Structure 1
Amino acid sequence: MSSEKSLFAVGPDTVRFALEAAGQAMFEFDPDTGAVAWADPRQAGELLGMEGPASDTCYERLIGSVSPEQAAAREAEVLAAREARRSYCVEFCAGTGSEQRWYEERGTWMRLGGRERMVGVIRRIDAQKKREAQLSYLAAHDEMTGQLNRGRTKEALQRAIDNSVDSSFFLVAIDNVGGINVSFGFDAADQVISTIAERLCEGVGEGCTVGRVAGTKFGIIAPGRSPEEMRERAISILNLVRSDIIKTRSGSIAASVCLGVAPLTAEMGSADIALARAEAALDQARQAGPSSWSVFSEMTDPVSMRHRDTEMSDTILTALNDRRVTVAFQPIVTDVDAPWNKYECLIRLDSTDGEEISAPNFIASAERLGLVHLLDRRVLELATTALAREPDIELAVNVSWETVKDPVWADGYVGHLRANAHVADRLTVELTETRIVDAIEASEEFVARIKALGAKFALDDFGAGYTSFRNLKALDIDILKIDGSFITGLAQSKENQLFVRTLIDLARNFSMKTVAEWVDNENDARILKALGVDYLQGFFISKPVRRPDWIMRERRDDQPALRSQSEAS
């Protein structure tokens, strides 16, 4: 292409300097000859990734390395611009593999020297494309875990509902992340969240969609919605999270999750309804404790729950007034064939028609209604009565966090124990580990007060929360009750055996006794004793007994009677 007929013949230095400053290369294309001229071949060579100046054939080779789809789209846009006498702008990716480069080409058709030419500018846009890809990724994915974010998860959930896909939605919530923050720090909590996210993504199986729907919650859309399929999937997720201890810079953490499950049906209509149902089921699961799961039903529906709470309020208050709040006694033994002289008092309600109502059916309602402290006090009264009648037994009672944190009810609880201090040395008060870390100062004060009267203190469901060494020492705990979810199936789980051994060693270092809950077979019992656990409790030893032999005997006249707080004062 002769210079006198080229646009670049005029002011070449001005054009070259302007192009260099903009990081782009300008070219002129003659459609009649197919020749390409570069305003600055050296600049064009650098832009195209060549070692020397660009030649007339470089442009043809560049376009030839573009994918057929992008090349066709580019050619169509260039031809349309020629016919309409307008400018064009196209983007394309040239090269292959790691050598791929993104370009933007802008141009227009002009008449120069009586002939039609295409004049264009090419520039590299790799950095722009990388930023766009990052923004696009972040718009759809959670930055910490790399999973779909809440918005994209809801979109996938809506598609499953609209398409009537045979599937279920699992809402997975990490247990007691607040406890991890308090005991191990926020960095450790973030590491737990990331590790669980990784385990879910890698282990839930094909056909599943995983997303992070909240800070400590994940959503999983999984195939199947029959009761058997949902149960199998839920147990698989629980085991997947618990497959190994999570090692953080602040210490090892045995994390667990609770699950709320909602079968997906076209009648749901929206993803928001599916999320609400899964959330209601999750609330129900959490009431049963860590590593629990529940499927949505009318029983978990929030509206139905309010109705049940209203009914349960009358049931609880009437039972208290009519003295129909009782306890069942479950033995805690040193070995499978050891005598029974230590028991845990498990609360029960007797309905007006004589049916027994177990704790899981009313405790959650009692907590929501603010009535649980009344039940705590009644169980303590029944326990001290039993201890006064039978001098050869020891009893353990559970106290709720609502009683511990409320100064008025805590005073009343301690006051009743003070009034019956003659039996306090045979009483153990248990508080669940997951609640202690919520306010360690209030827990520490309560523990100190009951221990000053001679009672012992036990940390229940140990291993399900994240109590630090400092808190264990500060609370002056006598007994650690290992969470039953680590005991069930112990003989078949090397991971649980390792974790239980670690807890036992920890307890020994603090001069604490250990109790293994949920012992339901002889193999687990023998392994627990071999590992060094001090006490066994569970259905293999005995189910809770409402009226053991010793409580049926006549009260001994030589034993001090139960005293009320007013009598003691």
Structure 2
Amino acid sequence: MSLAFSSPISIVKLGALGGQLSESPSRSPAHDPARPGEERDLAQGTPVESLARVISAEELERVRKAVLAVGEAAYHWVIESDEIFWSANAPEILHCAAGRLTTGRAYAALLDTDNFTTRYDAVMRSVYKDEGEGIPYQIEYLFRPGGKDGKTAYWLEDTGRWYAGADGRPAEAFGIVRRIDDRHSRDQQLNFLGNCDPLTGMMNRGRMAEALEEAIIAADREGVSRAFVIAGINNLAVVNDAYGFEVADEVIIAVGRRLKNVVRAGDPIARYSGSKFAIILNNCNEEELRHAAERFLEVARESVIETEHGPVWAMLSIGAIILPGHAADANTAMARTEEALTEAKRVPSDGFIIYKPSQRLISERSINARSAHEIVACLKEDRFKMAFQPIVDATSLEVVMHEALLRMADEHGDMIAAAHLIPIAEKLGLVRLIDRTVAQLTVSTLLAYPKANLTFNVSGITATDPRWFGQLTEILKTHREVTPRLTVEITETVALGDLDETVRFTGALRDLGCRVAIDDFGAGYTSFRNLKALNVDILKLDGSFCAHLTENPENQYFVRSLIDMARKFELKTIAEWVETPEDAAFLRQWGADYLQGNLFGKASLDIPWSAEAAAAPEKPASQEEPATFAAKGKAQADGDDEEPDISRLRLAIDALNAQFRKGRG
């Protein structure tokens, strides 16, 4: 609680609240004119006489106790004489003898020399002009009751109002001081947490961003280059896994301490993120930057870091940028330095890269931006479609299944392959949306065409995404009749990336009645043990080995070995990219079960089961899914006259849309 002074008479009241009523010099009529509506007798006589006429002793005692309760001491500072008149409780509040508080000069001698401001500064150096109501002030400072060299210190909040004399300069000030040690400690802690990293004590990323912005502005103004550096601990994740987070924290602290020891005085250093430190190098050109980077790399090379669990090596990589030439603001500088650090991490050890504009990267980003827009637009506008490529029995050459392949309609309505979008979609985090669309369209097709037998490919990111898999399994549980006709493909490299998760994934699909295929088999390093653990049904041989077999004896030997291995595990094989009868003859002779390639048919948007589907009996209305039945009724009511096969597929898609929305919710 603080008490504000709103009028001269109330100031005088509080000036004596600490104990006995003791007078301070009354304010002169020159700067205390009677205000409209104010009784003249309140301005006549001494302050104590005026006070006695407006407040009873009982009321005064209550207010006095309130002031004591909140630990505040009131004062009146007469600037011309430098006298300070205090409430009687001031020595108790300030833990200081009354004789040391009698003048402004004596009081100033009790303030810490490192204070940013003082009462004298707040009053005598104020830039404001008193128009009659006084000028308020509130400051905080460290008070040492034993003098500037005393060990005891308290934080005080000084709140008051100064009034001008006839010459317009400060003539007197009235105020209250109170102890705020606890609050100041909390404020300091919050300020520390807001600006510093609690583990290392260095400034944090937010404060570094502010310092970097200031450095760029200064560099531009002064015409002197600066550098911004990010140093990353490459092997911190390995330390985490091997020893735990406590040891990793020890490594972070040790590396931070070593870097701080070799940074020049005045160059800010911060903990930028979990395993990264950021440094601003003032007055630094490219040559000096290279020397500095070598110093920073040396702190990791010089010796191991001793931890509670034994010695640990730290390995650093560094990305840097010269300012202001390559970045006009802090966000750009940080982003480009991160790019340089990413490049540096590709170097086997002690990587150091200075950012330089790259036309390749600029072009890639432009392509990424266009592709992201294209993907989102296709999803919103329902422009993704499925094409079907036949897979034939190697012996009879009869079509036994089709692979569902994604196609997209461009802005002109022309259909193009969407394979080029998948790597970009994975990089931009959009591939799950595409995979969901592929799964949805594939299952919809199986629902619409009972003779269809399909395979479709799942990207590496989506294959281990529990949310996507939950949506798919929810659909398949609802439509168990389609699972025997569905094969889910995952690439060999993805399967080996997280073997335990892949085993769970394949097991759950097989439990639902689906088949699972390893796509691009032969491109990875699947061992006999891993192949057995994966428990899949089909191996799709990597097409790059199956194409042009007659011209490549090494590939002939390799493909034949893969087929022999699959046969030993009782797995079916599909050979991809079969383009010539001669290649097909080789594969058939070696024992491949199925063949796929342009020799037997290119991927087509035409629905290969149209005639069969049209002849297939309809389900009774009571057996249809509610969403399908409702959609069909709406189509009939609207007079929809689409072809039977297209209409059937649309109804199935509507049903799947409802199921996916339910799974997402």
TM-score between both structures, scaled by the size of structure 1 = 0.49
Normalising to structure 2: TM-score of the pair? 0.43
Quick check: which has more Rg, 1 or 2?
2
